[in-house]
Each structure stands twice: as C-alpha cells, then as structure tokens.
Structure 1
C-alpha cells in the first residue's frame, strides 16, 4: 500500500513538472508558412509589416512577353533593360518584329525540355514551379494604380484581341490583386506560356509560340512602325511602383 502511494505521488510530481516546463517555454517557435519552398512575394523596397521593422529590399522581377523571368538585386536598374538588350540581336537600340519573335522562340526551346517542338503540361508545370514561381503568387497593388488594368493585354487595348494568337487572361486583375505574371509584364497576361495555346488543347507548339509572339509585338508596337524602343515600352506595374510613373511630377 505504501509502495502504491509513493508511486502515485511520483506520477503527480512528474505531471506537474511537465506542465511547468510547457508554460515556461512560451509559444512554439515560428516554422515554415504557406510560402515555404517558394520564391518570396516581391515587395517594394522598404515596405514592412504593420507595427514591425521594415523589410529588407527584395530583388525586382521582369517577365518578358514570352514568359522569361529576369531578376535584379535591390538598387539595380529594373531588369526590363536586360531583356531588351539580349533580344536586340544587332544591338542597334531597336527591337524589330523578327528579333522579338526570335527571342520568344529561344525561350520556348528552353522550356521545351524534351526538345520535341511542343511544350506539354509537365513542362508548363516545371515552368510555373521552377523557372517563374512568382506567377503562382498574388501581388497586392491593383485598383486604379499604374498598370493595374494592364498595359495592353486583351482588355488593355481598345476592342481586345481578335486573332488566334496572343494574350488572353482577362487583364490579370481580380479583386484588386494583380494575378500571375501581370505585375511584372508589359502585357496583362497572368500566364504567358499558356496564353500562347491558340487552340486550347493544353499543348503549345512552336508555331503557336511564334504566332503569339507576332501578336504580342503588334500590341506593343503602338505606332505601327515595326520597331520597339526601350523608352517607348510601357512600365510594368511593379516597375511603376519602384520607380514611380513616368512623367509624374513633370510639368
């Protein structure tokens, strides 16, 4: 009987010690959140949590009309210029339709992992998760701000797109949040790779990619002279937030 009493007392003491230890340890340590394993959401430099210290500046992002991501370190020029310089094959400061299409097909071949001339669902998934994971995340900052309704996608141009080629996507705006690649792009296309799927069969052929590139060039070539210049390109919504809208404050 005495042995049983001592055993019960020992169990009670051990339980009390465990409770005290749990209370003293405080709340559990912060662990992985919903965005674990993915690229962080891009924020304008200096923007922080409410009531907390400002966040460190993030790298900026530009996504080319074909869907290729270009990133730059904080403080570096917005990387649209890097894309433009690479696509401008003869380095004359002008991007022709031929150069524009060639650059789009170069990236098409990069994401066509098995080099069979078709980008299928598996390759699209690899693009969205490994090459440009930012397009799977939301971006606050829509509304009527710079670029919120896109700079020339299906609903960004008067009358919309009528042909079988480029950009679909509904303008990339939903509930004040820019969707997919739209915050980082010249055109309002949430998913530029899939937007090239002209016949909606979930497979993008090289011919479809070329046709979409020609249609995108036409949307950007506002004066119809067959040439694009860097200074004449629209700002992406992110670029406008980082640098301020062009012409702001000028007389």
Structure 2
C-alpha cells in the first residue's frame, strides 16, 4: 500500500498536478520583491540611452559657428551681374551668398549658382524671349546698375608723382573697372561679357555657359561648392574709383 501511494504521488508530481513541498525543517523559498532579479539568474542589460541632442549644427563638415559672414562694403555686384545694396550691417556680398545658397548648407553648388543667375536673367529679360537684347542691356546699365559706369580710367590723382626735375609719373591704371570694383571677378559688365558671338544680345544659353565658367573661377579647390573662405577678399571702392 505504501509503495502504491509513493508511485501515485510520483506520477502526480511528473504531471505537475502537485508541487514539491519543502523538506521538513527547511524554510520555504523567500518571495522575490517586485523589481528585483532572483538569485542565480543572469540580468539582462538595459537598452542604451538615446544620445542627447547637440546644440551645434554641422553642415557638410563645417559647423555653423565657423560660417563667418563675408566682409566687404554695402554695395556688391554678383558674379552674374545682380546688384546688392545692404540695408544692414552685413555686406552686400553676404546678402548675395545667403540668397544663392538656397539650402543653407554653407556652400553654393553649381546648380544653385546657375539657378541664382537664371532668376536674375529672367528679371532683365523683360519681354521673356530668352534673349537680353540691346534695349534691355541699356536699361540694365542705366537703371539697375548705374554704378558700373566708369568715371575715370586715370587712377587716383593723389598717387601722381612729380620728381625734382618736374617729371610727372601718372597714377597706376585702375586694376578693376565697372562692376569689377564691386565684385569677386574683374568683369566690367557681367551681362555683355557673356555675349560670346558679339551679336549685341545675350541668350539664356550664353548666360548659362558664362555662369559655369565663373563658378569654376570661384570654386578655388574644385570640390563643386563655393564656400565663404575660398572667395576673394573684397574692399570697398575708393571715392575716385566711384
């Protein structure tokens, strides 16, 4: 009878119908408080925390703090001929750069440079025939950028030298004329300089080709983007040059 009882108990235990009672004199296992790991169990490491957001903006390898605004005078003529007259403390060149850099990446790509030029071309092309003709060129030079007109090509009179024998040495010839005094490139008239076939008209195709050449002149390291620190340094034109 005792053997049958022991066998029956063993069968119930295997089926999970009864639990093993602690041995006589052995204290029951302590209940593990909530939030604690039972003894002997390998803890699972917590998921890594998300990195805290940084206040420093990085743009194509350049931080926002390093994007120093361009210096120069308030008057500026862009490489494609658009005039800028700064209404604040920023230079006219900085206003152009901010406009051309459409995605605010800190660099002007060829596509952005061409798009900026195309917008200005459309502004000058008043009859929208994709040609800036003689009448439109005249209006550009007279009404839009009158400052490109050359007043004197004899240089600064204060630099004329007279030796003890009365021999006069003329002032140095101005290095830049017209729009070249207000921009990065020594181009006196940015619109007509794009007229490659000299037919007194500038087509959109000619203007686009000129833009590509001027972009390459300004992209000093040839990486496909014009950044501020590779542009030529500007100086305001003197009163004589104006």
**TM > 0.5:** yes
Shift of 1:114: 0.5
* Unmatched 5+ stretches in structure 2: 1-72, 157-171
CA RMSD of aligned residues (A): 2.5
How far apart, CA to CA, are the structure 2 residues paired with 1:224 and 1:142? 35
Match among 44, 61, 64 for residue 75 of structure 2: 61
* Unmatched 5+ stretches in structure 1: 1-58, 144-173, 242-251
Q: Deviations over 1:38-91 (max 9, x none)?
A: xxxxxxxxxxxxxxxxxxxxx831000010000125x72211011011111111
How far apart, CA to CA, are the structure 2 residues paired with 1:142 and 1:91? 39
Residue equivalent to 1:91: 104
How far apart, CA to CA, are the structure 2 residues paired with 1:128 and 1:206? 18
Q: Is the 8 A contact 1:138 1:179 kept in 2?
A: no
Match among 201, 216, 234 for residue 232 of structure 2: 234
Q: Is the 8 A contact 1:138 1:178 kept in 2?
A: no
TM-aligned CA distance change 1:233 to 1:204, over 3 Å: same
Residue equivalent to 1:185: 183
How far apart, CA to CA, are the structure 1 residues paired with 2:133 and 2:94? 30
Partner-residue secondary structure (3-state), 1:138: coil
Residue equivalent to 1:46: none
How far apart, CA to CA, are the structure 2 residues paired with 1:191 and 1:64? 11
Q: Deviations over 1:218-247 (max 9, x none)?
A: 1111111011012221123427x7xxxxxx
**TM-score, normalised by the number of residues in structure 2:** 0.58
How far apart, CA to CA, are the structure 1 residues paired with 2:154 and 2:76? 16
